[in-house]
Amino acid sequence: MFEVLVPARSPEILTPIVGSDRVAHLVDVGRATMSNLGGRRIVSVNSTATGGGVAEMLPVLLAYVGGVDVDGRWFVLEGDPEFFTLTKRLHHRIHGEPGDGGPLGEPERELMQRTFARNEPDAARLFRPSDVVLLHDPQPAPMAKWLADRGQTVVWRCHIGVDGGNQYTQQAWDFLRPMLEPYVDRYVFTRREYAPDWVPTERLSVIKPSLDPFSAKNRELSDEYCVATLQQIGIVSGPPTVALTFERGDGSVGTVTGSAGIAREGFAPSPTTPLVVQVSRWDPLKDMAGVLSAFANEPGCADAHLVLAGPDVASVADDPEGLDVLNSVIAQWRELDEHVRARISIVCLPMDDPEANAIMVNALQRHAAVVVQKSLKEGFGLTVTEAMLKGRPVVAAAVGGIVDQIRDGVDGVLVSSTDVAQTGRAIGELLADPERANRIGEAARRSVVAQFMPDTSLLLWAESINHAGTGNGQ
């Protein structure tokens, strides 16, 4: 287990976006929370420092937590491939899918416990008995007992879920329940429907994720900078014409260098070619394969270029399926007709510099004519909200938390998660009607500013932590 340091950031910088009243309210709540905590720290624990939504959200929230003088920390639980194969199995089961079909029994619980046992010496060094601990997703679940035995307040935050359970979700909850129920003071889910029936209503909070508009992934970039970034990493043709420097979170200067790993035939598309983009992890539930089919078979996409972009698969420690999914998508692409293959790029973005990677994703989303998120299951689509904040028209599957993000036809387009042809038509219609696409994109940005900025999440987190018992010294 190790700590990730997050520099504090004053919430005052949010004023030009959300207004002074919202910022002042956040500061007041932050002061009250600090008083209630009485010097106690808020510690978040997850299983990776890079890659995936949780690793992106934590530094955002913790930066603003520090900006209101609350002591927030981030610890990362370390595991081996066997552990992450098991937790990926849990990830699929919670989404109602069989995953690799493997068991969830006592040997698997013992594996979870052994993994924490290897982290326990570091945990004993890093934690204080007074800490309020937020455990994120299934990976750190076996820590709950250890923390509760020390008298610490434990909150379990589950970022994933599905509306309506089945045999697979039941297996996942039966597996996790003994590790959580006796020890957790508060549960937090993205949607109320995601919580299993054994979670008491009075100990349940619903908190939707938020975005930092000033992070490397979301900050404003000029059109010229976006094009130059995509030229630098090889997604569009031509040499970069502007300096690709950027300010890092710690104030130092970074530069976008290197190139992406790209499966493509023929030449890179020109900067003026409309791009249809999906950015996600190489996860079967993100359905990159479905996006590929939708684009390839839609006549309305004939003048556009598809970019399926994900992280370098070697860089995401807690996602052992990534390479298999990537290889499957490439094999599917190779079976397409030559003229269709030439309009599709499958991209692995370098992750050696996470902030430079975020700039790449930012540029790709901003340059896109249409952003797609055709997930089969989705707790909450961060990439949906990211693209909406950038004023992009989004075509997304009407599943899970996405239906809370998009009003169909108003600030995005919702499609069936299983209807490939409908997805293709929705993309083609937006490409054919730029005026409608721009109108949807503008509404999308307004919606995100109203609902999914850091202050909205932090206010709910303050309420949840107080309900967990910090306000009365428990």
CA 366 to each of CA 118, 242, 298, 454: distance values in angstroms, whole numbers, following the listed order: 43, 17, 23, 21
pLDDT reported for residue 249: 80
Residues 169 and 261 in one domain: no
Query: Is the CB of residue 233 less than 8 Å from the CB of residue 267?
Result: no
What pLDDT score does 115 carry?
A: 98
DSSP states of 282-329: S-GGG-HHHHHHHHHT-GGGTTSEEEEEEE-GGG-TT-TTHHHHHHHH
Q: How far is CA 322 from the centre of its chain?
A: 16
CATH classification at residue 308: 3.40.50.2000
Q: What pLDDT digit, counting tens, does each position of 156-203 carry? A: 999 999 988 899 999 999 999 999 999 999 999 999 999 999 999 999
Q: What letter would DSSP give residue 264?
A: -
Answer yes or no: do 236 and 204 share one domain: no
Helices 53-67 and 454-467: angle between axes, nearest 10 degrees: 80
Residues 234 and 204 in one domain: no
3-state secondary structure 365-400: HHHCCEEEECCCCCCCCHHHHHHHHCCCCEEEECCH
CA gap 41, 320 in Å, rounded? 33
Residues 237 and 161 placed together within one structural domain of the fold: no
Which of 290, 310, 410, 390 has the alpha carbon at shortest distance from 350? 310
For residues 304 and 197, membership in a common domain is answered with no
**Would residue 302 count as lying in a domain?**
yes
Are residues 40 and 58 part of one domain?
A: yes
Do residues 258 and 406 share a domain? yes
- Count the helices and strands in the chain (H runs, E runs): 16, 16
Where are any strands of DSSP class E within 146-194? 153-158, 186-189
Is residue 325 assigned to a domain?
yes
Do residues 254 and 201 both lie within one domain?
no
Query: Which tokens is 164 given?
Result: 């309506």
Q: Token match 């930012």: residue?
A: 362
- Tell me, what DSSP letter sits at residue 217? T
On whether both 30 and 175 belong to a single domain, the answer is yes
Q: Is residue 258 one of the residues assigned to a domain?
A: yes
Instruction: Please answer whether residues 393 and 183 qualify as being in contact, where contact means their C-beta atoms are separated by less than 8 angstroms.
Output: no
Residue 217 forms part of a structural domain: no
Neighbour count for residue 335 (Cβ, 10 Å)? 9
What is the number of domains present in the chain?
2
Q: Rounded CA gap, 26 and 18, in Å?
A: 11
**Residues 271, 241: contact at Cβ < 8 Å?**
no
Q: Does 408 share its domain with 464? A: no
Examine residue 63 and state whether it is found in any structural domain, yes or no: yes
Walk along the chain (474 residues) and give the pLDDT tens digit of each residue.
999 999 899 999 999 999 999 999 999 999 999 999 998 999 999 999 987 788 888 998 999 999 999 999 999 999 999 999 999 999 999 999 999 999 999 999 999 999 999 999 999 999 999 999 999 999 999 999 999 999 999 999 999 999 888 999 999 999 999 999 999 999 999 999 999 999 999 999 999 989 999 989 999 999 999 999 999 999 999 999 999 999 998 889 999 998 999 999 989 999 999 999 999 999 999 999 999 999 999 999 999 999 999 999 876 656 778 899 999 999 999 999 999 999 999 999 999 998 999 999 999 999 999 999 999 999 889 999 999 999 999 999 999 999 999 999 999 999 999 999 999 999 999 999 999 999 999 999 999 999 999 999 999 999 999 888 654 333
- For the four alpha carbons of 157, 85, 58 and 148, in that order, the dihedral sign comes to positive
Residues 174 and 257 occupy one common structural domain? no
Q: Are 445 and 428 in contact (CB under 8 A)?
A: no
Domain, as residue range, for 126: 2-210+453-472
Is residue 242 one of the residues assigned to a domain?
yes
d(CA 146, CA 142): 8
Same domain as 235, residue 200: no
DSSP state of 404: G
pTM of the model: 0.86
